[in-house]
Amino acid sequence: MTLAQQVLQQLINGIALGSVYALIALGYTMVYGIIRLINFAHGEVFMIGAFAGYFIITLFNIPIVPTLILAMAFCALIGIVMERLAYKPLRNAPRIAALMTAVGLSNLFQNLMVYFKAVGASPKAFPRVIDISRYEVMQDVYLTSDKILTLVVAVLLMVALQYIVHNTKMGKAMRAVSQDKDAAQLMGINVNTTISFTFALGSALAAAGGILYAVSYGKIIYNMGSMPGLKAFVSAVLGGIGSIPGAVVGGMILGITENAISAAGYSMLRDAVAFAILIIILLIKPAGIFGKNVREKV
Amino acid sequence: MKKKLSVLLAVVLLVAAALAGCSGGGGGNDVEDEDVIKIGSVSPTTGPVATFGQSVLDATKLAFEEINAKGGVLGGKKLLLLNEDNQSKGEETGAAFRKLIEQEKVVAILGSVTTGDSLIGAPIAQEAKIPMLTPTSTAPAVTEVGDYIFRACFLDNYQSEAMATFAVEELNAKTAAIIKQSDSDYSVGLAEFFAKTFEAAGGKIVAEESYLESDIDFSAILTNVKAAKPDVIFLPAYYDTVGPIMQQARAAGIEAKFLGVDGMDSSELFSLAQGAEEGAYFSNHYSPAADVELVQHFLKAYEEKYGKTPDALAALAYDAAYIMAQAIDEAGSTEPQAIRDALANISYTGVSGNVTFDENRNPVKPIWVNVIKDGKYEVAKVVEP
């Protein structure tokens, strides 16, 4: 393999990983956009999505696309319930209370999964739902079918999200609530429904990310959501939290950067670099790449 | 009035029953002391390494049952196993060893399972001068604690050396890549010894990559390994990371042969590697494919009793239990000092081969190199010490 071939292969690896980060980051960013909450339990929704996919496939033995849809629906439900039970009562509480609740929820979800005998603490192999075949892009550079699936599904979902947010009534309501909750309510928008919908949407995307991740890398475990969850958070901040295109771009940049670091032989510094990026972006451009510099109103 | 009376009666009855229970229990113990020999074991059957602890405990129980069914030791005395579940936690481990030694007055201890736990228990056993035989703790430091501490498994460096030599001599490997788990001392140590032996034998390490236990995506480091074109890839880690690495390596188009170590031995490997494990070689403490009567007996008995194939931990624990029984027999008494001396001079043939102890109380015994063929283990080579 020449250097150029290696660079191209690592770029492909990075984009595949980045698109999973982007799917999770979208949930972070939408929830932040609408209720100014960093939902740290979001990484666990990603994990639950992967496990939901695992159980759907092992129990019903159905192909990947219906599995994706079912698992996304299940996680959308989890997202709604999570918001109603944990965050809604705290909507007018200090922001730190909701943040701590999110951290607590994250722990709760992980430990619940360990508690369930069917999941447990040891890793599980994700069933092989698609044949992993290789397509040669150029000599020695491959696109595998799982990576193609990841990219295609991620792009489709992002396009769908874009459509929902900009071309539907619910999307309009979401944008209105994120601008001014009280004014939106005065205009007759059901704020509770809108917030629930946002959680459902974000959680469904995380579930899709979880399944794509599991199909690609073959292993699922109860704590698989914590690292990708944090990385997706970094992606969302990098792109500008609250901005939907920002989450996608942030995810891609982070995925590619991580692969570049590993490719250069510093795989041990990969996580450290991801969080160094977070610190640097917060110091230099806290609003992120796509973020607007909103001044706090007094 | 009637109610009061019945309450009084109930209290009297309860007290009487409790007293009877006490004396009965006490009396039973006195009798027991004559006929049974108490052996302690510290295996975590809950907590993070519960599966390891359960394997060890199951196999130990099986061995004790067999020994007792054959008439026990010292001409008719039965072995009594007292297990303490230490949950693989430091404070629980210390308490478990103290309880076994001080309250239960065991004559010897089998355990603990992990190196970390054994390092906590060993000084306690050494101070009380109770012989301790850990079936599975591989770090050199464990037996260095003192002359009462033994182990039934070989040290990590032996298997690295065996695999490096095997790669050069049997597989004609000229180049190797190492993919190690850098947050595991076990993995880092094995990688280091492998590199040393492989290079001393004339081979070349063309790539050395690291990952963390929590990593799931290995595509970046595997692309580096692929570019280095190694003949073999050494994967010193447990099945839970080795399986996905193998699967992702084959998906990335890497054709090199895989070499692994005892941590790879798990039925879970097959589902995680999804077929990529075919043709992989790994060193282990025994081989279920060995054409040895004792091995086949052990497999059959274990499967009948527990409904699953024993792993290497179970084989080691089974051997450790028999070694301890033989040592007590040869000591001719239950004096801890006599048992220790008998252990030091023992020569035992078990599931993992012929075992003797060297002057550092580490076993001298063969290493089994297994190869995975059609989803089953086969013996590729037996490396004699």
pLDDT of B16 over the 60 cut: no
* CA pair distance A176, A197, nearest whole angstrom: 13
CB–CB contact A1 B226 (8 Å): yes
pLDDT of B29 over the 50 cut: no
Residue in the block written with tokens 């579940």: B85
Residue type, B15: V
Q: Which among B227, B244, B272 is the nearest to A1, CB-wise?
A: B227
Q: Does residue B347 have a cis peptide bond before it, meaning omega lies within 30 degrees of 0?
A: no
Secondary structure of residue B23 in the 3-state scheme: helix
Interchain contact A285–B (C-beta under 8 A): no
CB–CB contact A267 B243 (8 Å): no
pLDDT in the model for residue B22: 45
pLDDT of B305 over the 80 cut: yes
Query: Crossing angle of helices A244-263/A270-284, nearest 10°?
Result: 140
**Cα angle B59, B61, B67; round to 5:** 105
Residue among A19, A46, A58 nearest A224 (CA) = A46
* CA pair distance A150, A53, nearest whole angstrom: 15
pLDDT of B20 over the 60 cut: no
Residue B284: in which H helix or E strand, if any?
A: strand B281-284
Listed range (A187-196, B267-276, B296-305, B354-363) with the worst mean pLDDT: B267-276
Name the A residues in 209-228 with CB < 8 Å from any B CB. 213, 216-219, 221, 223-224, 226-227
Averaged pLDDT for residues B156-164: 91
Q: What is the DSSP string of B90-153?
A: HHHHHHHHHIIIIIS--SEEEE-SSHHHHHHHHHHHHHHT--EEESS---GGGGGG-TTEEESS
**Cα angle B189, B190, B191; round to 5:** 90
Q: Note whether A250 and A13 are within 8 A (CB).
A: no
pLDDT of B135 over the 60 cut: yes
Q: Which among B48, B226, B243 is the nearest to A121, CB-wise?
A: B48
CB–CB contact B224 A17 (8 Å): no
| Residues 6+ away with beta carbon under 8 Å from B49 | B88, B113, B114
Shortest CA distance from B269: residue in chain A: A125
Interchain contact A263–B (C-beta under 8 A): yes
Helices marked H in chain A — which ranges? Answer: 3-35, 42-60, 64-82, 95-115, 145-167, 169-179, 181-186, 191-217, 226-239, 244-263, 270-284
Q: Note whether B102 and B119 are within 8 A (CB).
A: no
pLDDT in the model for residue B2: 57
Residue among A204, A208, A200 nearest A81 (CA) = A200
Q: Note whether A38 and A99 are within 8 A (CB).
A: yes
Residue B76 burial (10 A CB sphere; 0-12, 13-18, 19+): exposed
**ipTM, two decimals:** 0.85
**In Å, how far is B216's CA from the nearest CA of chain A?**
6
pLDDT in the model for residue A206: 96
pLDDT digits (tens, 9 = 90+) for A7-21: 999 999 999 999 999
Residue type, B381: K
CB–CB contact B216 A128 (8 Å): no
**In Å, how far is B238's CA from the nearest CA of chain A?**
11
pLDDT of B23 over the 60 cut: no
Chain B residues in contact with A258 by the CB 8 A cut-off are: 220
Shortest CA distance from B222: residue in chain A: A263
Q: Which among B216, B221, B223 is the nearest to A219, CB-wise?
A: B216
**Cα angle A155, A160, A165; round to 5:** 125
CA A246 to chain centre: 13
For the record, the structure tokens of A202 come out as 């974000």
Would you place residue A137 in the very low, low, confident or very high pLDDT band (cuts 50, 70, 90)?
confident
Q: How many CB atoms lie within 10 A of CB B222?
A: 26
Q: Note whether A211 and A53 are within 8 A (CB).
A: yes
Ordered domains of chain B (ranges, CATH): 30-153+292-365 (3.40.50.2300), 157-284 (3.40.50.2300)
Residue B73, CA distances (Å) to A114, A117, A235, B345, B357 in order: 42, 40, 66, 18, 21
**Cα angle B156, B161, B167; round to 5:** 130
